[in-house]
Structure 1
Amino acid sequence: MEEVLDRISAEIYQNSYVIIDDFVDEEFRKALLKEQTELLEKGMFRHAAVGQGGQKKVRTEIRSDEVLWMDQDNLSPLQAAYWEKIEQIRQVLNQRCFLGLRSFEGHFARYPIGSFYKKHLDQFHAVPHRVVTVILYLNDSWSAEDEGALRMYFPQEDGSERIADVLPLGGRLVVFLSAEIPHEVLPTKKERISITGWLRNID
């Protein structure tokens, strides 16, 4: 884990993002996926909204995923184990990148077939405290034909944008600076499962 943490901190410092394959082992990934499936079957997921406070609305033309927020005070053993891994990331980013990260929030995210999330930034005026985005994919299998990639946009000096598409392979972790990398989830041809969260500079 120490080597992985070193790589995360180095690449966030140099490139503002990092992709780590096999961040969790298969047993842990499958257990998280099973828990997510059971929670879904119990009707615990809700359509994701956009905006904050009184402006919060479900707008399926912008995003059509479903989410279940995790309760920090009521985590399952599996969720607590994942949060501990994120805590290690928080500590190493604070030590080496001086980001002042103080807390984590996260949710299970399910993208049904055909769903998407249009281009956006995770940090904006209504949610200024999100500093680092952390996504762990839980899918059993994925191929390019399944589509549903995370598309990241990197502004270039000439005003253009470089694009990188990241497939949601099971066990893959994607970490990036929330205010710097616009991104979207392209329409998926297969159910797409992740834990998406944010390291924040507030408690």
Structure 2
Amino acid sequence: MASRALLWHACRGLPIPDLEKIALDYIVPCLHDIGFCYLDNFLGEVVGDCVLERVKQMHYSGELQDGQLAGQRHGIARRHLRGDQIKWIGGTEEGCEAINFLLSLIDRLVMYCGTRLGNYYVKERSKAMVACYPGNGTGYVRHVDNPNGDGRCITCIYYLNKNWDSKLHGGILRIFPEGKSYVADVEPIFDRLLFFWSDRRNPHEVQPSYATRYAMTVWYFDAEERAEAKKKFRNLTDAGKREAPLNED
């Protein structure tokens, strides 16, 4: 994987970013101070375009399915509560080289954060969830990713929307930091990478989108909490099919 990463950066003609410095000097302090942070121009135009085109292919070919609410049964989608269409991706599928590269960089950022994330020990994550809000006012009501201790500790979202104007298109991710008097609005602009705590510290919502809105999300697991959750919650047994070890190359 490391050689592939070098290849991508060689194609861009840019130096490989100092991921360790970004993790230790920016991501870790921001997570501890305010609970979230984001990086803009993360991959650059060329590689970001490769990710976007592959996601568009999935959308146009009908590979995405309606997202489900936690605890839903019988596959019933409540579109007024959650309006996205999704697909789980490992990154090793044919044509997903750019996605795999993106995931490897995010993995390295999280690994560099290491023990500085508090009591968390991260050694695996979910597969990537490709998501599309198809416009027409679709969104996702206020929720917490991990309200019940399922193991998710960090949510990471990569946005893929060029020329996005939130005044026209909506689609803002609004975070309601626990115990704070303010909200944080994150525009889903192209090549932006967002991190935030997955637990009750960060309730959030996707406001109604009036244009096609693409994003890719991965969740990083605390090893101990995830193991305990699998003992408690039977529904996490099948969810194991959507997990992946971190790429340590």
User: TM-score, normalization: structure 2?
Assistant: 0.74
Q: Which has the higher helix share?
A: 2
2:178 maps to 155
Deviation at 1:166, TM superposition (A): 1.0
| Counterpart-to-counterpart distance in 2, 1:177 and 1:73 | 27
1:124 maps to 147
1:175 maps to 195
| Counterpart-to-counterpart distance in 2, 1:48 and 1:118 | 13
| 1:112 and 2:130 are equivalent in the alignment | no
Q: Is the contact made by 1:51 and 1:57 (CA closer than 8 Å) also made in structure 2?
A: no
The 5 A counterparts of 1:19-58 are: 19-52=38-71, 54=73, 57-58=76-77
- 1:36-80 Cα deviation digits (max 9, x unpaired): 111112211000001248576422121000011113664721121
Q: Is the contact made by 1:150 and 1:185 (CA closer than 8 Å) also made in structure 2?
A: yes
Deviation at 1:109, TM superposition (A): 0.7
Deviation at 1:101, TM superposition (A): 1.1
| 1:78 and 2:98 are equivalent in the alignment | yes
| Counterpart-to-counterpart distance in 2, 1:16 and 1:183 | 12
Of residues 10, 19, 28 in structure 2, which corresponds to 1:9?
Answer: 28
Query: Whose radius of gyration is greater, 1 or 2?
Result: 2
Of structures 1 and 2, the one scoring higher in RCO (CA 8 A, sep 6+) is 1
2:217 maps to 196
CA RMSD in angstroms comes to 2.0
Deviation at 1:94, TM superposition (A): 1.9
| Counterpart-to-counterpart distance in 1, 2:110 and 2:210 | 33
- 1:119-151 Cα deviation digits (max 9, x unpaired): 0000022x6111100001011111132211000
Q: Is the contact made by 1:9 and 1:92 (CA closer than 8 Å) also made in structure 2?
A: no
| Counterpart-to-counterpart distance in 1, 2:108 and 2:90 | 19
User: Which amino acid letter does the alignment assign opposite residue 101 of structure 1?
Assistant: V
2:12 maps to none
Of residues 137, 160, 168 in structure 2, which corresponds to 1:138?
Answer: 160
Q: Is the contact made by 1:156 and 1:162 (CA closer than 8 Å) also made in structure 2?
A: no
User: TM-score, normalization: structure 1?
Assistant: 0.89
1:164 maps to 184
| Counterpart-to-counterpart distance in 2, 1:65 and 1:25 | 26
| Counterpart-to-counterpart distance in 2, 1:170 and 1:79 | 14
Q: Is the contact made by 1:20 and 1:174 (CA closer than 8 Å) also made in structure 2?
A: yes
What is the total number of aligned residue pairs between the two structures?
199
2:88 maps to 69
* Unpaired stretches in structure 2, ≥5 consecutive residues: 1-16, 224-244
Deviation at 1:156, TM superposition (A): 2.9
Where in structure 1 do 4 or more consecutive aligned residues deviate above 4 Å?
Answer: 52-56
